[in-house]
């Protein structure tokens, strides 16, 4: 243990879903309040805060959404910075918090993600989402975000064969896990046929392959290792937070391959001094089921073309060799875009502390979260990999 | 079958400078080629994305390409009538671009399919309701058609 260690002291999450009548300040404040209480910290102990958020400014709410949320819990008079990076915004906020402690600038920093997506006019909601692609050709010419996943799925199945049933099984698994998550947006009991017979969205992606648009917030308090150890009996150490973007200039990218994940996870494994076989619990960005399947391969849990076998043999089930998305994932927990990354961190912290209730994975010590955002020419805008452990 | 929509009007291009009708009456996509490093980009750019040189020239790109991947959207953006197809097309110059796809029926789209450029309606102008035009690739008709 060195003094450069960083740990998560406590986390908090609001309910995810259609939080009708609730402002971002209300459910955002609730997540931060929970995180501060779980950390045994007074609000004046937070030295800096980073907030992941995508849509607030476009919705004419406020560009200082972080300050507005944190005012509700008396966290004021400190540097507060909004971080926007599509659906990976709050992992990028978490990464900034991590770096400011790693560099010895701060001892206690808050990372927050907050997003209001329902109850706003449809054209505004669609504008929020189409902003995650190229605004010169792709967005104006009709590309949809589920279309990006549809295109990846077709490229994948052209190369490796039909995986529609395994994709449906991923949705079934994540909804089953989400039934045990009280914060989840969609509490649905679905089977494979329900998924395969649901309405087509972007061939072959069907409605039940796709995540919902949600409201919600998630917060994490990070601290220097020795500070965290004073505050908590169970600090969860941050062993790596890595992020990168796509190459875009190469025209030979293969859409069946998560090359961006491969680069980011390789850096993260090296930073943490572990490999994919050491993981006990994983959260991935399953905005669509094909995303989850391809992240298995991008993270090295399976080799190219073999991701579906992890579904077939039960490895990724809650009681399997390497459980993926015990929270229910974006599929069931929901996807308030700017809050998803920190919600993944919340789940890992609860899992690593044995606090995940009926969705608890058996005795995990090392967890990984992968979060994606946006796309250009069909290649990921950002992918992040966070590794947490109780060491 | 004409490759240019009969109502096409240059003032109603969705992406300026990306496409024009050539002397032979057929459409052509316009890109930019770097004289220093040879990098080709679409749509046009004032300097090279790869080596940053300003020594670049606009060039006509190939009309024929290969479909890299595709999907058919059954719910989509306003102004697009589902189901509509789109995908990424690779051109021989090493350019990959997004395009709406036409000339397909259920099950005929496939990775690697040959496609050809047309200049077609993209969507109505949200302000005037008049059609906006741009590049649309269509499947090259097989021998059995």
Most B CBs within 10 Å: which of A202, A209, A246, A247, as the mutation test of the B interface?
A202
- What pLDDT is attached to residue A252? 87
Q: What is the reported pLDDT for B143?
A: 47
Q: Buried (b) or exposed (e) across B33-69, using 16+ Cβ within 10 A?
A: bbeeeebbbbbbeeebeeeeeeebeeeebebebbbbb
Euclidean distance between CA atoms B99 and B61, whole angstroms: 14
B-chain residues within 8 Å CB-CB of A255? 68-69, 88
User: What mean pLDDT comes out for the span A123-141?
Assistant: 74
Residue to substitute from A125, A129, A203, A213, interface B, most B β-carbons within 10 A: A203
Q: What is the pTM of this model?
A: 0.96
pLDDT digits (tens, 9 = 90+) for A101-111: 999 999 999 99
CA distances from A68 to A23, A24, A65, A71 (A): 11, 9, 5, 5
| pLDDT score, position A2 | 54
Q: Please tell me the predicted confidence (pLDDT) of residue A128.
A: 60
Does residue B20 belong to the interface with chain A, where contact is any CB pair within 8 Å? no
> Which of helix, strand or coil describes residue A83?
strand
Q: With 0-12 CB in 10 A as exposed, 13-18 as middle and 19+ as buried, what is A191?
A: middle
pLDDT at A148 over 80: yes
- Could you report the per-residue pLDDT of A162-183, keeping only the tens digit for each? 999 999 999 999 999 999 999 9
Q: Does A154 touch chain B (CB under 8 A)?
A: yes
Q: Chain B residue closest to A152 (CA)?
A: B69
User: How does residue A130 score in pLDDT terms, banded at 50, 70 and 90?
Assistant: low
Helix (H) or strand (E) holding A80: strand A80-83
Whether the CB of A201 is below 8 Å from some CB of chain B: the reply is yes
- The Cα A369–Cα A315 span in angstroms is 17
B-chain residue closest to A247, CA distance: B50
Q: Does B92 touch chain A (CB under 8 A)?
A: no
CB spacing of A143 vs B98 below 8 angstroms: yes
Which among B83, B88, B94 has the least Cβ separation from residue A151?
B88
Whether chain A has a CB inside 8 Å of the CB on B90: the answer is: yes
Instruction: Report the candidate in B68, B118, B116, B59 with the shortest Cα–Cα distance to residue B96.
Output: B68
Contact residues on chain A for B68, CB-CB shorter than 8 A:
155, 255
Taking residues B137-142, what's their average pLDDT?
A: 88
Average pLDDT over residues B46-66: 97
Separation of alpha carbons A273 and A126, rounded Å: 41
Give the model's confidence band at A131: pLDDT under 50 very low, under 70 low, under 90 confident, else very high. Answer: low
Chain A residues whose CB is inside 8 A of the B78 CB are 123, 126
- Asked if B80's CB is within 8 angstroms of A251's CB, the reply is no
Q: What is the DSSP string of A300-340?
A: TSS-TT-HHHHHHTTTTSTTSSS-B-TT-HHHHH-B-GGGH
3-state class (DSSP) for residue A89: helix
pLDDT at A333 > cutoff 50: yes
Residue A56 has what pLDDT?
84
> Which residues of B are less than 8 Å from A137 in CB distance?
15, 18, 43, 97-98
- ipTM given for this complex: 0.95
3-state helix, strand, coil in chain B (%, to 5): 0, 45, 55
Q: CB distance B86–A143 less than 8 Å? A: yes
Of A59 and A296, which is predicted with more confidence?
Answer: A296
* Contacts (Cβ under 8 Å, ≥6 apart) of B58: B30, B31, B32, B33, B44
């Amino acid at each position: 243990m060195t003094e450069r260690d960083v740990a998560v002291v406590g986390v908090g999450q609001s309910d995810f879903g259609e939080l009708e009548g609730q402002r971002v300040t209300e459910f955002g404040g609730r997540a931060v309040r929970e995180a501060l209480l779980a950390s045994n910290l007074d609000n004046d102990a937070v030295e800096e805060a980073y907030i992941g958020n995508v849509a607030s400014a476009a919705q004419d709410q406020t560009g200082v959404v972080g300050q507005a949320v944190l005012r509700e819990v008396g966290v004021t008079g400190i540097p507060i910075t909004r971080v926007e990076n599509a659906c990976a915004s709050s992992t990028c906020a978490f990464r900034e918090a991590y770096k400011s402690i790693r560099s010895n600038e701060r001892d206690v920093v808050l990372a927050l993600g907050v997003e209001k997506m329902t109850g706003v006019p449809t054209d505004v909601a669609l504008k929020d989402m189409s902003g995650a692609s190229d605004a010169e050709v792709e967005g104006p010419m009709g590309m949809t975000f589920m279309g990006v996943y549809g295109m990846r799925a077709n490229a994948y199945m052209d190369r490796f064969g039909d995986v529609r049933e395994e994709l449906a099984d991923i949705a079934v698994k994540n909804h089953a896990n989400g039934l045990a998550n009280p914060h989840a947006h969609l509490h649905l009991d679905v089977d494979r046929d329900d998924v395969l017979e649901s309405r087509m969205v972007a061939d072959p992606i069907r409605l039940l392959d796709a995540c919902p648009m949600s409201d919600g917030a998630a917060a994490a308090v990070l601290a220097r290792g020795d500070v965290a150890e004073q505050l908590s009996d169970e600090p969860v150490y941050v062993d790596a937070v890595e992020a990168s973007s796509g190459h875009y200039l190469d025209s030979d990218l293969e859409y069946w391959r998560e090359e961006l994940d491969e680069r980011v996870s390789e850096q993260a494994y090296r930073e943490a001094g572990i490999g994919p076989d050491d993981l006990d619990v994983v959260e991935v960005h399953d905005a669509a089921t094909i995303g989850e399947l391809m992240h298995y391969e991008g993270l090295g849990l399976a080799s190219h073309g073999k991701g579906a076998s992890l579904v077939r043999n039960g490895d990724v089930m809650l009681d399997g060799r390497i459980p993926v998305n015990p929270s229910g994932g974006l599929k069931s927990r929901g996807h308030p875009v700017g809050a998803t990354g920190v919600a993944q961190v919340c789940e890992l912290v609860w899992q690593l502390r044995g606090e995940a209730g009926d969705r608890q994975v058996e005795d995990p010590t090392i967890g990984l979260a992968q979060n994606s955002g946006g796309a250009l020419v069909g290649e990921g805008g950002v992918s992040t990999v966070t590794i947490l452990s109780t060491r | 079958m004409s490759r240019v929509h009969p109502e096409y009007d240059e003032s109603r291009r969705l992406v300026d400078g990306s496409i024009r009708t050539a002397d032979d009456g057929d459409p052509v996509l316009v890109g930019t080629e770097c004289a220093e490093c040879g990098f080709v980009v679409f749509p046009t750019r004032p300097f090279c994305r790869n080596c940053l040189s300003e020594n670049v020239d606009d060039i006509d790109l190939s009309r024929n390409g290969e479909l890299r991947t595709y999907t058919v959207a059954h719910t989509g953006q306003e102004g697009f009538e589902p189901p509509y197809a789109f995908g990424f097309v690779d051109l021989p110059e090493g350019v990959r671009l997004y395009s709406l796809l036409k000339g397909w029926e259920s099950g005929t789209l496939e990775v690697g399919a040959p496609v050809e450029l047309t200049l077609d309606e993209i969507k109505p102008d949200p302000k005037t309701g008049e059609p906006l035009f741009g590049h649309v690739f269509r499947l090259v008709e097989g021998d059995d058609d």
